[in-house]
Structure 1
Amino acid sequence: MASADLRQELDCSICLNIYTDPVTLRCGHNFCRVCIDRVLDTQKGSGVYTCPECRAECQQRPALQRNITLCNIVGSFLSTRPDQEETGIFCTYCIHYPVPAAKSCLHCEASLCDNHLRVHSKSAEHVLSDPTTSLGNRKCSVHKKILEYYCTEDAACICVYCSAGEHRGHKVETLDEASEKKKKKLRNVLQKLSTKREETEKRVQRLQERRRENQKRAAGVTKRVTALFRDIRKQLEDLEKRVLSEISRQEESVSLSVSDLIQQLEIRKDELSRKMRHIEELCNMSDPVTVLQEPDTGDLCDTEGRKRHYNQVHGVGDLDVNLISETLQTGLSDIITGINVWVYVQEPTDILLDVNTAANNIHISGDRKTASRSQINQKRPETPERFQYPQVISTRRFSSGRHYWEVEVSKSWRWRVGMCYPSIDRRGYQSDIGDNNKSWCLCRGYNNQYSVIHDWKEIQLPDNIPYDRVRIYLDYEAGQMSFYSLCDPIRHLHTVTATFTEPLHAALWVMGGCIKISGGVRS
């Protein structure tokens, strides 16, 4: 009721429509600006102007004041009727200004605003519906009567004459009944569609999440590939320097040999020149006694000397292309090994230390990832599996595939990390990893010296590389175990080749401080 009363207060008394640009006269009555201007224009010749509402007179044409408050109220009221506005259907009888229709009369085939709806006929034949532009479709095309029923057999909307004619005997329902039944079916369909939509939304969310993960992974892989190529370029540059250095060394060695031989041959040439001059002098003498009394010049065809100098010339060393090629191939093989590690083994899983093998002079952390040298006897049971010296191996063993694991060694000043067979001795000096033929390790010894050790044999490594974190890579089938320094860029340290005859365990040996497993293994 309040909304209806407000609607009536917003009607212009001249056009009976909602105010358009409302203005106010001195008497306080409001009108549309266009409507009151037309009324005042008709009163111009009479010599007096009157208010159409209260007949208040004015000798001069009254000034029109725009009613801002009323204009805002009209705008607010119209904004609360979006359904009518959105339909785009306007009252058929409001010809001066388009007014949204409130209802459509199927009988009159016209749309009506609230004002015209109040004076519209209320007889039964005037059927009202929501505003529509398809008024002709709401009548029977044969009898021109309003469609009131629905034939369920023919699935057609019919009028009263149709129900008594060609649809006689058919099951007929009112439009409202048939509409409700269809709405019920549609609601069921809607529920199913809603469920499918939710499932689709979940799939979209999963795909979006997968896309984000893929983007994140792509960004990570891009970063790693960039670092990999930077490392490859650095390794290639280092390899180029080593190969060129080897070429220069061999060239210098050959040059020294050739220089020495040239010097010897120059002396030989001077000696021969001196003999030739002496002989020429003898040949030019006229006194036979002097010629005959000259000591013998020796065998001028010194065959042995000539052969010796010939062999010296042809025996001069040349560039050892095989050694250069071997240096190049070994360096490239190391680079390829590093690439294989990156390609085949990227995301490590867990690796744990086996407390049952840990010596009693090392402490194993609760997460079984850190081994620390301890001055306190851990008092673990003495069993055949336990090491005598500060050493421990992993619970997991590897008998196939590619794997790697990483260790932080920056907090230890003497350490060994590597892999060993389970049959390694547990007691005696030969039980340390590297000091037997059943283990391989990377070692930091006295005076910060680094080496790779197997069966007591050491391969010295450069000490100008950071060794804070190291990686051990295993390719079991290929028989390769490689060691890397995880600096920037990652540096390949050494690769050992062997035919593995037993499964391998990760192994740690710590003489001081602690070492920690920071990465795991992956098949």
Structure 2
Amino acid sequence: MDFSSQGSIIEELICCICRQLLTEPLSLNCGHNFCQACISANESESFFGGQCRCPVCQSPYDPWNLLPNQQLTDRVKKIREANMSSHQQQRRDLCEHHGENCHLFCKEDGKAICSLCVQEQHQGHQIYSVEEVVKECQEKFQVAVDRLTQEQQEAERLEAVINEERDTWKNYMQTERERILKGFEEMRGILDREEKRELQKLDDNEVHVLDNLAVAKDQIVQQSQYMRELISDLQRHMCEASMDTLQDIINVIRRSEVWTLKKPKIVSKKLSTFRFPDLNGMLQAFNELAEAQSHWVDLTLNPFNDLSNVVVSEDHRQVTIGSDFMFRNVYPRNFSAFDVQSSQNFSSGKYYWEVDVSGKVAWILGVYSQTSNLNRNKSFGFVFTPKPNYSNAYSRFRPENGYWVVGLQNQSEYNAFENSSTTDPKILTLFIAVPPHRVGIFLDHEASTVTFFNVTNHGSLIYKFSKCHFSQTVYPYFNPWNCPVPITLCPPSS
């Protein structure tokens, strides 16, 4: 192929002798480039006196100083590859049977054909121009690109969701890990405190027993000394018996006759055996408290009506009996003037709250649900209609009256109030090993239970009401009773 007429080809890639693309180009000192075969033929013709001259500029050069030009070799190689590709493309555009341009497309056979092919092999087929088929393919390509783009965006969205879910689970696992570590650390703290308490109790018992034994030993030593002196007097008077010492002898005999050994009180040899704490029970109570605390709700206080003799703090978290009651000598019959409920009410779900009762000698806590024997006042909320024949102040605190409560009276008497078949209240006495300074209340509306926890004693159970019949909305209930020390709601953060 003659490249001399193709202006698109750089002149320096053309051999000045054969006017073709350079083949194994060699460079002369003057800068002109030639095919190796062409310049070799020129050397045989122009060599004279050991020198050759450039066919272009006639500059002399030494045949043995010619250098291969690798840069030109690479560039020529790329041009040859491009020409070959273009030639192959031109061949593909031509019909292999007729050599005509393939400007038509047969849908049945799915191939490009020429006009002669239509007459010979494709009569009756759906024939379209290549331009139409290309346009249709481009439209399908665009639809496919749009669909795949949406799929890619959806994949990216799902990847973001998965990453977010992964981070959420990592945070959850870390939180759970910290909660487990904290829980077992608290359990170890409980065991350490129990160990110290039991060892202190043993030390105190040891001191008590040894002190009693020391006192008993002193008593025996004193009596032994007295008996030795008495025996010595008897022996001496036996040897010296006379009329003059008769009265002394009689006195010594009387002393010996009335003397009896007084045995000291000895501590019982039956020692109390230490019983290891019920770790399973403690762990169960701890888990139950942790589960209840996961439903902690932030409550605020509200008196039942405007006639209540209580004072609620500005943040509605603390309640105290009114100052006028503190100077009153009349003992109320039912303490209804001290009724306090929360501003929140519940008709379903699980809820937990804690109350600080530190320093109080009396209180009542629990939940309240309006029943048929209570009247609703539209202006003041709930108003009680106390029965005139209440036998004592506890008569109305029963589930049948809408109360599920426990209480403290006389500083150390803990009670739960259940229904009874008579008009007298059924008061259950509760044994509480560690007096609670903080009480947790858990309401499970679906399970119809109200549970009271002694948070001070690691969440031990105080009492649990089961099968509660909540007729209507349930309100957390508080009563400071006749103790001037306030009741305080604990915030969830505590």
Q: CA 1:460/1:235 → structure 2, altered by over 3 Å: closer, same or farther?
A: closer
Matches within 5 A, 1:127-206: 147-160=102-115, 162-206=117-161
> Which amino acid in 2 is paired with 1:109?
Q
Q: Which runs of 5+ in 1 are unaligned?
A: 1-7, 17-34, 60-92, 111-125, 128-134, 275-280, 282-294, 299-304, 378-384, 486-490
> Which amino acid in 2 is paired with 1:325?
R
**What are the superposed Cα offsets for residues 456-511 of structure 1, whole Å, 9 maximum, x if unpaired?**
98969689xxx7xx5614376787411336xxxxx737531254575574234576
Residue matched to 2:196: 241
Residue matched to 1:348: 296
C-alpha distance in structure 1 between counterparts of 2:52 and 2:361, whole Å? 119
Residue matched to 2:424: none
C-alpha distance in structure 2 between counterparts of 1:363 and 1:354, whole Å? 10
Q: CA 1:405/1:417 → structure 2, altered by over 3 Å: closer, same or farther?
A: farther
Q: Say which of 485, 495, 502 aligns to 2:461.
A: 495
> Which amino acid in 2 is paired with 1:507?
Y
Q: Say which of 5, 12, 15 aligns to 1:14.
A: 12
Q: Say which of 451, 455, 474 aligns to 2:442.
A: 474
Residue matched to 1:320: 272
C-alpha distance in structure 1 between counterparts of 2:205 and 2:443, whole Å? 35
Q: CA 1:142/1:215 → structure 2, altered by over 3 Å: closer, same or farther?
A: farther
> Which amino acid in 1 is paired with 2:275?
S
Residue matched to 1:440: 406
Q: Aligned residues, how many?
A: 383
The alpha carbon displacement at 1:229 in A equals 2.0
The alpha carbon displacement at 1:238 in A equals 0.9
Question: What TM-score comes out, normalization by structure 1 length?
Answer: 0.50
Matches within 5 A, 1:259-278: none
Q: Say which of 40, 49, 68 aligns to 2:30.
A: 40
Residue matched to 1:419: 366
The alpha carbon displacement at 1:190 in A equals 3.4
- Does 1:518 pair with 2:491? yes
> Which amino acid in 1 is paired with 2:462?
V
**What are the superposed Cα offsets for residues 303-336 of structure 1, whole Å, 9 maximum, x if unpaired?**
xx9xx99xx99x9342333xx438x23x763443
Matches within 5 A, 1:206-355: 206-250=161-205, 316-321=268-273, 324-325=274-275, 328-329=277-278, 333-343=281-291, 345-349=293-297, 351=299, 353=301
C-alpha distance in structure 2 between counterparts of 1:12 and 1:155, whole Å? 41
Matches within 5 A, 1:32-111: 38=28, 40=30, 96=75, 99=78, 108-109=87-88
Residue matched to 2:477: 507
Q: CA 1:170/1:514 → structure 2, altered by over 3 Å: closer, same or farther?
A: same
C-alpha distance in structure 1 between counterparts of 2:460 and 2:306, whole Å? 27
RMSD over equivalenced CA pairs, Å: 6.5
Which stretch shows the higher mean deviation, 496-505 or 509-518? 509-518
Q: Which runs of 5+ in 2 are unaligned?
A: 1-6, 15-24, 34-49, 61-71, 230-234, 236-252, 325-333, 375-382, 387-391, 417-426
Is the 1:433–1:507 Cα contact (8 Å) retained in structure 2?
A: no
C-alpha distance in structure 1 between counterparts of 2:439 and 2:79, whole Å? 78
Is the 2:304–2:340 Cα contact (8 Å) retained in structure 1?
A: no
The alpha carbon displacement at 1:394 in A equals 5.5
**What are the superposed Cα offsets for residues 433-459 of structure 1, whole Å, 9 maximum, x if unpaired?**
99x99633699x9xxxx9895479896
3-state SS of 2:440 partner: strand
Is the 1:143–1:161 Cα contact (8 Å) retained in structure 2?
A: yes
Q: CA 1:340/1:177 → structure 2, altered by over 3 Å: closer, same or farther?
A: same
C-alpha distance in structure 2 between counterparts of 1:169 and 1:36, whole Å? 61
Residue matched to 2:337: 388
3-state SS of 2:455 partner: strand
